[in-house]
């Protein structure tokens, strides 16, 4: 009997080791104008938030996999003059929410986006509300009067998963 139990333990361990860490799926959120890959089934919620001094309905899709949170936030602004200030405000708000500091910023230019100097991919180091260290990577960009934020957050980021999340973004033309 002990040998059967050992075989069962080894078999279970090997099956777990072969399970994919992330279950990537294509998601096309209604009204977003984008298609992207999430490693888990995202939940959606919309709320009104202040963005650069104006109330804006913002929709967030998010999920957690392997201790890492993945999110898309998007909003339609209705005025092209509000786009750049909104992207700046989103970037500042994200840093403030994570009690973070920017470590690195670089241009972010997915095909189909509206060119904007505020379109960037940023790496942050911060703290959770409980004071634990966190890492975050986010991208900010726009398409016409629609603004977007992609974010990956966790105590330790998986670089390959973050790249998959950001690199598989497609903007509808």
User: For 109-167, what is each residue's pLDDT tens digit?
Assistant: 999 999 999 999 999 999 988 889 999 999 999 999 999 999 999 999 999 999 999 99
By DSSP bridging, strand 133-143 and strand 120-127 are: antiparallel
pLDDT given at position 17: 39
Q: Domain 22-171 falls in which CATH fold?
A: Protein Transport Mog1p; Chain A (3.40.1000)
Domain boundaries, the chain: 22-171
pLDDT tens digit string along 2-61?
Answer: 443 433 333 333 333 334 579 999 999 999 999 999 999 999 999 999 988 889 999 999
Q: Rounded to an integer, what distance in angstroms lies between the CA atom of residue 38 and that of residue 165?
A: 7
Residues 162, 71, 122, 25: is their CA dihedral positive or negative? Answer: positive
Dig out the tokens for 97 from the structure: 């929410």
Q: Per DSSP, which regions of the chain are E strands?
A: 25-27, 34-38, 43-51, 54-65, 68-76, 101-107, 120-127, 133-143, 146-154, 170-171
Q: How many CB atoms lie within 10 A of CB 72?
A: 23
% helix / strand / coil in the chain, to the nearest 5?
25, 45, 30
Give the Cβ contact number of residue 98 at 10 Å.
20
Question: Which residues contact residue 18 at a Cβ distance below 8 angstroms, ignoring those fewer than 6 apart?
Answer: none
pLDDT at 92: 93
Joined tokens for residue 143: 């398409």
Which pLDDT belongs to residue 1?
45
CA distance 122 to 128: 18
Report the pLDDT value the prediction gives residue 20, as an integer from 0 to 100: 58
Distance CA 70, CA 136 (A): 10
pLDDT at 70: 98
Tens of pLDDT along 82-113?
999 999 999 999 998 888 889 999 999 999 99
């Amino acid at each position: 009997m002990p040998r059967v139990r050992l075989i069962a333990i080894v078999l279970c361990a090997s099956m777990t080791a072969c399970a994919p860490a992330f279950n990537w799926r294509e998601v096309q959120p209604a009204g977003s104008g984008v298609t992207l890959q999430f490693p888990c089934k995202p939940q959606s919620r919309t709320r009104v938030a202040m963005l650069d001094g104006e109330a804006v309905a913002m929709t967030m899709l998010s999920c957690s996999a392997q201790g890492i949170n993945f999110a898309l936030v998007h909003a339609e602004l209705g005025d092209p003059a509000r786009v750049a200030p909104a992207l700046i405000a989103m970037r500042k708000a994200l840093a403030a929410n994570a009690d973070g500091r920017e470590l690195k910023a670089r241009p972010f230019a997915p095909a189909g986006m509206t060119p904007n100097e505020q379109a960037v991919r940023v790496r942050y180091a911060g703290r959770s509300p409980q004071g634990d260290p966190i890492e975050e990577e986010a991208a900010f960009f726009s398409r016409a009067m629609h603004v977007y934020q992609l974010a990956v957050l966790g105590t330790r980021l998986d670089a390959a998963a973050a790249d998959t999340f950001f690199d598989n973004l497609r903007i509808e033309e």
